[in-house]
Amino acid sequence: MEEHNNHHRQPLLPSISDNHEEQQQLKLEVSVMERTWVESNKFWQISGPSIFARICLYSLAVVTQSFVGHISDTDLAAISIATTVITYITFAFLLGLSGAIETLGGQAYGAKQYDMLGIYLQRSWVVLLVASVLLLPLFIFATPILKLIGQPEEVAELAGMVAMWLIPMHMSYVFLFTLLKFLQCQLKMAVIAWMTGVALASHLFVNWFFVYKYNMGVVGAAIMLDVAWWVPVFGMFVYVVFGGCRESWTGFSMQAFSGLWEFFKLSAASGVMLVLESFYYRVLVIVAGSLGNNEIDINALSICITAYGWEIMIPYGFLAATAVRVANELGAGNAKGAIFATKISLLTSILVGLVFCALIVAFPDKLAMIFTSNNIVISMVDELSVLLSLTVLFSCIQPIFTGVALGCGWQSHVVIVNLVSCYVVGLPLGVVLERFLGFGIKGLWAGMLGGTLVQTLLLAIITIRCDWDKQAKEAHSRVVNRAISS
């Protein structure tokens, strides 16, 4: 009887409070899903074209090397050294210097101070132009520098001559990187993808026609490379100046010469930060050779690092997207938006990193066969595949934290982190494992991977401990104050 009465006491319909809680929970879930979808779209809107552009630009030198390789081994060695040693130093440093636009321009765009973007672009031209002139001795004295580091005399002489012909390419970096970052801050990515795509397509044709068919030689190849790098510069410049950025480009201004010291300090920190980061795993091959590892090990390691060089273009695209999104939200004074953008960037990058990890571990022999048919080298690449996969995974995570640092303007902090983790911890640890504990080339790489792990953890701690509300208030007020003072 009691059970029967209890049965009748049970409500036939849910209570209003229950319905309200369920509706609120549903709204919250829908809201999170919508925000995730919107933020993911914004993230890929920047990172997708950025990845494509970076791959196109990275491929320009690869195309040149592949065509020159049909001329002679000496010519191939000369163009390879000139493009991967001499010009890469200036490439990395000037690309880093342009990082100030990612911070200041991104924050200005978020605060809707669009006219300041044009001022920042012109200030960056001044800073990078001075830096590019100061870097010219690397090209002028390339031959004695290459001889000093042990390159064969014939190769050093030819590479030095090629380096002189590549000075126009070096000067193109001043305008290409700054225009790219300027457009990137405003989410105008289509023009970047189109211009770099046109540059790569035209470069393939002119190399086939002039270098391969009419045998213009290594100097002709260098000239074609110069032209290829200037193609997107002219395309983006015309787009910016002739109506593509009406709000952010209001013409040339003398304000570009004010506030240069503050801009230079941020730019210099960005330049050093990227150089330390970019050269870390490239140093691996140099150190491996200097420690007397055999040719098989060096060839296998070179294949892995080349594959890593292609893959790293994707995380660098993620880095750019993260920097822009965080800077935009902070400039708008939206701390929660910056946090959410960081979370979506990190989740996306981890998922992409895991996919690449799985592919490398599953098909290491297929990766090696792209570059060699030597079964011993292929076997060695197979042995190194686990280290390569872990390197790829961390290379997908760490750039997100670097992107957050760029968006916040923490470049000087990242310089210290990169210097300590990579060159004080990672590289010495690798040498100890390789030389003194007998782990060979795997030990060298494992030690350097340990440096990357330390770097990632330190940057993660800095990001987690960030007072986002304070960052948003300071960023927004800085942008407004700069606009008023200008």
If you write DSSP's letter for every residue of 217-247 in order, what string do you get?
HHHHHHHHHHHHHHHHHHHHHHHIIIIITTT
State whether 212 and 317 are in the same domain.
no
pTM of structure: 0.82
List the chain residues with pLDDT less than 70: 1-30, 284-299, 370-372, 481-486
At residue 253, what is the residue type? S
Given this model, what pLDDT does residue 294 score? 59
Given this model, what pLDDT does residue 121 score? 94
Residue 44 lies in a domain: yes
Give the burial string for 164-195 (b: 16+ CB within 10 Å, else e). Answer: ebbbebbbbbbbbbbbbbbbbbbbbbebbbbb
Task: Select from 247, 268, 289 the last residue of a domain.
Answer: 268
State whether 257 and 384 are in the same domain.
no
Identify whether the C-beta of residue 218 lies closer than 8 Å to the C-beta of residue 78.
yes
Residue 26 lies in a domain: no
* CA triple 116-230-266, angle to 5 deg: 35
Given this model, what pLDDT does residue 6 score? 47
State whether 118 and 206 are in the same domain.
yes
CA distance 267 to 119: 15
CA distance 420 to 274: 14
CA distance 431 to 444: 6
State whether 296 and 245 are in the same domain.
no
Q: What residues make up the domain containing 70?
A: 39-268
Total count of domains within the chain: 2
Q: Which residues contact 19 (CB under 8 A, 6 or more apart)?
A: none
State whether 244 and 343 are in the same domain.
no
Given this model, what pLDDT does residue 306 score? 72
State whether 200 and 346 are in the same domain.
no
State whether 44 and 91 are in the same domain.
yes
Given this model, what pLDDT does residue 17 score? 45
At residue 437, what is the residue type? L
Residue 14 lies in a domain: no
Residue 419 lies in a domain: yes
State whether 212 and 357 are in the same domain.
no
Residue 20 lies in a domain: no
CA distance 465 to 443: 33
Residue 86 lies in a domain: yes
Residue 160 lies in a domain: yes
Given this model, what pLDDT does residue 66 score? 78
3-state secondary structure at position 83:
helix
Task: Select from 244, 268, 292 the last residue of a domain.
Answer: 268
Query: What are the respective helix, strand and coil percentages of the chain, to the nearest 5?
Result: 85, 0, 15
State whether 283 and 259 are in the same domain.
no
CA distance 247 to 109: 10
Task: Select from 219, 240, 268 the last residue of a domain.
Answer: 268
State whether 333 and 472 are in the same domain.
yes
Whole-number Cα distances in Å, 278 to 118, 133, 329, 362, 390: 28, 22, 27, 27, 17
State whether 195 and 320 are in the same domain.
no
Q: Give the chain's end-to-end CA distance (angstroms, integer).
A: 85
Q: Which residues contact 161 (CB under 8 A, 6 or more apart)?
A: 78, 143, 219
Residue 198 lies in a domain: yes
- As to burial, measured by CB atoms within 10 angstroms (0-12 exposed, 13-18 middle, 19+ buried), residue 287 is middle
Given this model, what pLDDT does residue 21 score? 55
State whether 356 and 245 are in the same domain.
no
CA distance 442 to 298: 11
